[in-house]
Structures are given as C-alpha cells and as structure tokens.
Amino acid sequence: MNVLFLCGLYPQAHQSEIFANSKKGYQFAAQTLQEAIIEGFIQNDINLSIVTMPFLSTFPAGYKKPLVKFGPSEFNGRVPTFCSTFINIPFLRQVYNSTEKNVFNWCKSIENPSEIKHIIVYSLTVDLIKIALKVKETFANVRLTLIVPDLPEFMGSNKIYTALGLKKRDVDFIYKNISAFDRFVLLSEAMALPLNISPESYCVVEGIFDPKLISAESSCSSEKTQTLLYSGALVRKYGIETLLNAFSSLKDENYRLIICGDGEAKDLVETFCEKDDRISYLGKLPHSEILSLQKQAALLINPRTPEGEFTKFSFPSKTMEYFASKTPVLMYKLPGVPAEYFKYCYTLEGTDAQNLAEKITEILSLPENLLQEMGQSASDFILEEKNPEIQVKKIIDLMAEH
C-alpha cells in the first residue's frame, strides 16, 4: 500500500524555527496528532510519504516571515517529507504555492500506474481539499481518505475573514465536495450525521498518544506539590474563567494554579495573576516543558463543560496527554469523549465555579495511594490501548476495504 499524507505538519528539522517565528497560532494539538498518525503508519510497515503545507498564521500579525520555504527532509529518518514553499500573506498563498506540484510528483512516482494511490488529507482545510480533488480527477486510481478533527463550522477563523463571508464560502465548499472522499476518520461518532456519510465509510479515532513523548520529556521531580495545572487554549468557552474563579475561591495558601497556553482569554488570566499570587501564567511553552509540568502537578484540570453543541463533535486532545502523565485528571463528561475514558479520571456534574472548587478540594483531600492508583490506571489505558500502532491500524483497515 502506497500512502501520501497531505497535511499541515511542521517538519521535524524546522520545528524550533517555526515555533520561534510564530507570534500566534502555533498548533500544538494538530502537530502532536499528525506526528502520532505518521508514527502509526511506520509501526504498521506502510510505505508512506508526506507533503505538508505547515499550518501557520499569516504574516505579519501571526508569523514573522512572509515566505515559507523549507527543503525536503525526513520524518524520524524514514519518511520522505516535502514541505511546500508558499507566500504566507493573506489572500496570496495561491500566487506561489508548491503543494499541488509536490502531490502530483508523488502520484507520478508510483511505478505501477494501475496501483491504487491512497491520499490521506488531514483536516478540512480548503486548500488541501482542492488539491486532493484535482488529483483524483487526474489520476484514475487515487483513493481519498479525510481525517476530520473538527467540523468546518466550528473551525477557527479570524474576524475579517468571517466578516467578508469567506468562512461561510469555505464551509459551503467543504460540504458540497465531501462526497468526493472515499473514506473518513472521525474524532467523534456524532460527526457522521452532519457530514452525511454512511457507516461503512468511516471509523472513529478520537486521538492517538505516542509513548515516545514520555521518554522524550524533560526530567522532573518525583515530589508532588498541591499544584493544579491547565495547559491548552485560553478561550472563555472552554471554561478558563470558571477555573480561575473556582481556584480564587479556595482558601488554602498551599494550593497553586499553573496555566500554560495562549488565546483570547490571556488578558483575563493575567488579571487573575495580579489579584492572586498563587496563580502563575507561563505563556506559550515548548511541548516537552508542558509534559514535565503535567508530571509534577497534583491534579490536571480540563474545565470545558458539556454545554454547547460543539462539545459533541470534539475530543480535547489534552485528554490523552493528561492521562498518560500518571497525574490524576478532573474533567466533565463531555459527549465527544468515549464513555470508557471516564473510568480513569475524576468527573463532576455542576458547571459553576463553586462545584468545581468543591470537587478540587475533595480530590486533593484523598489519600495519596488512591490518587496514584487513578493516575497509573489512566496512563496504562492510554499507553496500551491508544498508541499509534493500534489506532492507525483502524485507519489502514478502513482504507484496505476498497
């Protein structure tokens, strides 16, 4: 099986440079999932190539350079990776963009012209979808698989783009052309209905955790403190304000709250830090540092509530990282999270700050051995059942059904 992964991966050789040049919009979750998908194909001995147009915010507000240009490289020294060269300025990406050329070159490189060419497109990105559709029209033996991490109407977009009606245009385009894809990989079962796809055409892979992330993490102290940690997008609809209010209401001076990430609620976080010196905001950190902080904390919190239609169509990527850390996790029973996960974490019902504060106090009052057992069971679950080899095998089996 020959497979091309058409995606927005940051090439390994240039990740530090991309991180340094990103003023905003560096997509940690997307990067981690794409890397895990690639690793899964490697572990399943699939002949894989990568064409990537890195998911970057545009120059000058989001990225420091107007031209993105990286040469060919390899992922883990094994998978050929062709990074697109493109003008990273709003409305000018199509003026010069080598993505289409790279994909066509891969199709032409398959020696047997009658062999099926599998192209996997990561995310509902219009630019990548258009290329995939054009390739399928050109090559008779191309089969398209679409990985859907978010429904198009819930994907982020800047205010100007939305105000100009361009987001609506993109959403309409995606739904109009979704039927051109042969197979789908969904992050939640609920996505199938709005996408109007048949049961035999999709599988659900809510996420993937690569155990290598654990061995690659920075060293950390084995001594736990009474520290709570939230890492991720600082967005009000994800419950960050409720978490801040809940923690501020706790009277124990030994408690600490660490917040990492970026987003529209950054100013709110900084305001709470000024009022309560037990709260620390560390900003945007390298992934390895976040993993170490997760290991050091006493409790990891995801304050996102089940409120809002978008929650049934999403699986918070931090869930797997949190579980794998061996640190106990507190979260709500989100409809997009498979029920099996809730056996390995603490959950709560009420969605206001008082309920959250009471639950935090209750958990941190438990005997240490019970907290350790919960954290260990969650880690075992993720490492044994949600690793790249097992999760990507579901995708491979789906593609092989042609």
Task: State the pLDDT at residue 21.
Answer: 95
Q: How confident is the model at residue 389 (pLDDT cuts 50, 70, 90)?
A: very high
The pLDDT of residue 391 is above 50: yes
Overall size of the chain counted in residues? 402
Distances (CA, A) of 347 to 155, 294, 355: 27, 18, 11
Long-range CB pairs of 279-283, under 8 A, 24+ apart, other chains included? 279/244, 279/247, 279/248, 280/256, 282/258
Q: How confident is the model at residue 225 (pLDDT cuts 50, 70, 90)?
A: low
Task: State the pLDDT at residue 219.
Answer: 44
Q: How confident is the model at residue 112 (pLDDT cuts 50, 70, 90)?
A: confident
User: How is the chain split into domains, by residue range?
Assistant: 2-208+387-399, 212-385
Task: State the pLDDT at residue 154.
Answer: 87
The pLDDT of residue 103 is above 60: yes
CATH number of this structure's domain 212-385, picked from the four choices 2.60.120.10, 3.40.190.10, 3.10.150.10, 3.40.50.2000 = 3.40.50.2000
The pLDDT of residue 220 is above 60: no
Convert the pLDDT of each residue in 144-156 to its tens digit. Answer: 999 999 999 988 7
Number of H helices, E strands in the chain: 15, 16
Shortest CA distance to 347 belongs to which of 330, 368, 370, 369? Answer: 330
In one-letter notation, the amino acid at residue 23 is K
Q: How confident is the model at residue 222 (pLDDT cuts 50, 70, 90)?
A: very low
Comparing 2-208+387-399 with 212-385, is the CATH topology the same? yes
Please check whether residue 12 is in contact with residue 73, taking contact to mean a CB–CB distance below 8 angstroms: yes
Domain 2-208+387-399 annotated CATH 3.40.50.2000: yes
- Cα–Cα dist 111/105, whole Å: 12
Mean pLDDT of 373-389: 98
Convert the pLDDT of each residue in 312-368 to its tens digit. Answer: 999 998 999 999 999 999 999 999 999 999 999 999 999 999 999 999 999 999 999
Tokens of 96: 């010069």
Task: State the pLDDT at residue 396.
Answer: 98
- Phi-psi category of residue 329: left, alpha or beta, with phi > 0 → left and psi -120 to 50 → alpha: beta
Convert the pLDDT of each residue in 16-40 to its tens digit. Answer: 999 999 998 899 889 999 999 999 9
Task: State the pLDDT at residue 398.
Answer: 97
What percent of the chain shows pLDDT beyond 70?
97
The pLDDT of residue 216 is above 70: no
Tokens of 277: 């010196």
Please check whether residue 170 is in contact with residue 152, taking contact to mean a CB–CB distance below 8 angstroms: yes
Convert the pLDDT of each residue in 30-74 to its tens digit. Answer: 999 999 999 999 999 999 999 999 999 999 999 999 999 999 999
